[in-house]
Amino acid sequence: MSLLASRRVVLGFVAGAAATLVALPAAAANPAAELIERTAAEVIQIIKSTSPGPARQAAMQKVLQTNFDLPYMGQTALGANWNRANEQQHVRFLKAVESAEARAYSERFGQYGGQTVTVGKVTSRPNGVFIVDSRINQSNGQPIKLEWEVRDRGRGLRVTDVKVEGVSMVMTRRSDFNSYIQNNGGTVEPLIKELESRAGR
């Protein structure tokens, strides 16, 4: 399996999740649920107003920067390897991950259509984390369960993880990153170069 292959499966589901949004009224009053609604609405507008390519990728990157805590997600995904990298590598890694994520999302939106997303209950946890339950309703097949992890780390509420049928996007990335690092000399630099290459294609 190539680098981030399993992560792309998760990203594909998440991309499909934003195709159309149908929110339950009870959820709409919660700020965490409103964040998910707003993110989906912005993505829908991007799909309607831009064609696949650099413009769509740039627009998607802005949505990710605004609504997702990308530095936190990137550092968490790198895990213990974060402390083995220097400050310059930290900056390059986070920039490359952000670009790669935007490209992955923008490329996958065109592959989905007709799904709806129902936003359900919001669970508040003691550590300041909100879990927003939702599901993708498919025209063919069973609904897919999505859980959005939302928290405020000083910049307002941001998405910090997405679980698809219990599979964490961040932990999937960590598994992919660790595997790549272990198979390429045990250092972070080859991973960063690979991500930079992918982001620039």
Task: List phi, psi (to 5°) of 161.
Answer: -170, 160
Name which of 15-19, 101-105, 180-184 the model is least confident about: 15-19
Assess whether pLDDT exceeds 90 at residue 186: yes
pLDDT tier at 8, thresholds 50, 70, 90: very low
Total domains in the fold of the chain: 1
pLDDT tier at 23, thresholds 50, 70, 90: very low
Instruction: State the pLDDT at residue 112.
Output: 54
Instruction: State the pLDDT at residue 108.
Output: 65
Residue range of the domain that includes 85: 5-200
CATH of the domain at 193: 3.10.450.710
Q: CA dist 146 to 92, 164, 168, Å?
A: 30, 5, 10
pLDDT tier at 33, thresholds 50, 70, 90: very high
